[in-house]
Amino acid sequence: MMYLKLAWRNMWRSRRRTMITVSSVLFAVIFAILMRVIAVGMFEKMIADTVKITSGYLQIHQKGYWDNKTVDSAFAEDPRLNSVLDNNPDVSCWTRKMESFSLASAGERTKGILISGIEPTKEKKFSGISGLCVDGAYLADSDRSVLLAEGLAKYLGLKAGDTIVLLGQGYHGSMATGKYPVKGIVKLGMPELNKVLAWMPLGLARDFLGTGTANTAISVIPAHTNDLARMSAHLLPAELKEKYEVMTWQEMIPELDQLYKGKMVQNEIMSGILYLVIAFGIFGTILMMLNERMHEFGILLAIGMKKWILAVTVVLEMILMSVMGALLGIAAAIPIVWYLRINPLRFQGDTAKVMEKFNIDPVIIPSLEPHHFLMQGYIVGCISVALSVFAVIKILSIKPIDAINS
């Protein structure tokens, strides 16, 4: 405790030097946090937007469905399954889906599309597509009309109020045909999905495909998305596992998972370069401190202070300044990240086009996960403390006479 008190007093004997050191750690922490939360936030948004509109974080379907994804693998309404999901505290929300491929036609243009039969009321909470309508209105559960993604609507030359013709294969080889009014146009942030998706109420999709009361899948959003593998293994009781299987979005969309992991590795490399730059900056402040205080160190050693006590005191000074800088950096980064979260920045021009090619919505919405803030502060603080070893080596090699005359 005595050495800690001595280190604290020594810190404030030269306020300018202390503020320079603390500031170097503070700005380093801010830059490290911003780099991390922006990269993670962008890809978390991309994943959330994609999986909520398509598969869900978890999906329950009949065994064998994922191998061929045909409506012939649809399963009848199961009250036991519904009860399990309703009573599971780890399930935030769930919704039934009826999905199939179809040929869409309008005028002289045709295109293969993905039809998604949804429960409009539940889907508002599940994916939020009700807030993405740019023309017309959102669906009601009893509607006999469809929603089209904006890119698909543009290709077919359709707008709200027009009519689209659908042709596909229904249940057990039957012909699925229908002519439906377009109630609304939805703009998705994922360019590829924006070109192929169409939605219709679940009842209408069942009629179109002739499946009765069956569903192809149930999509689930868990209360926490950190451990989907564990949740998928324990979501259903043993008797239901004989008929159904549960898959995570990583299993259903492995290319998205690989893209995310690849970008996170790239971010780790960039963070490593940033930490190296930070280390040089902090090392410079340590050199400055040692050079300024060499005369002081020489006098202290000449009057009898042991070198190891002096070294411990200097290390404690660096620890205190590093902790102070890291905490101030975290505190300063929080309002910046919060502002960017509330007022996201959207890329324009060539940068936006490049991101859209990778199916990424060109908007910055940083992550608010606390561990990203704490981890960056911890790493930068550790770098500062590790570099203080140089100060220890330098102090242990001091010759009092030379230091006094420096």
Q: Where are the domains of the chain?
A: 2-50+257-404, 56-252
Mean pLDDT of 298-324: 78
Mean pLDDT of 181-193: 87
- 354: pLDDT confidence band, cut at 50, 70 and 90? low
Assigned token pair, 364: 């910055």
Buried residues in 290-302 as b, exposed as e (16+ CB within 10 A) = beebbeebbebbe
Beta bridge partners of 169: 175
Write the burial class of residue 158 (CB in 10 Å: 0-12 exposed, 13-18 middle, 19+ buried).
buried
Mean pLDDT of 134-148: 92
- 396: pLDDT confidence band, cut at 50, 70 and 90? confident
- Is residue 186's pLDDT more than 70? yes
- Predicted TM-score (pTM) of the model is 0.76
In terms of residues, how long is the chain?
Answer: 406
- For 70, list phi and psi in degrees, rounded to 5: -110, 160
Mean pLDDT over all residues of the chain?
Answer: 84
Contacts of 102 (CB under 8 A, 6+ apart): 112, 113, 114, 115, 166, 167, 168, 176, 198
The distance from CA 126 to its chain's CA centroid, rounded to whole angstroms, is 17
The radius of gyration of the chain from alpha carbons, rounded to an integer in Å, stands at: 30
Mean pLDDT of 16-34: 82
Mean pLDDT of 273-298: 77
**Neighbour tally for 366: CB within 10 Å:** 26
Q: Which range scores top for mean pLDDT: 24-28, 94-98, 254-258, 356-360?
A: 94-98
pLDDT given for residue 191 in this prediction: 77
pLDDT given for residue 220 in this prediction: 92
pLDDT given for residue 403 in this prediction: 67
Task: State the residue for tokens 């070294």.
Answer: 311
DSSP states of 367-402: ---HHHHHHHHHHHHHHHHHHHHHHHHHHHT--HHH
Q: Which range scores top for mean pLDDT: 69-73, 117-121, 257-261?
A: 117-121
The distance from CA 146 to its chain's CA centroid, rounded to whole angstroms, is 31
- Is residue 340's pLDDT more than 90? no
Going by C-alpha positions, the residue among 55, 100, 115 that lies closest to residue 254 is 55
Higher pLDDT, 255 or 102: 102
Percent of the chain with pLDDT over 90: 24
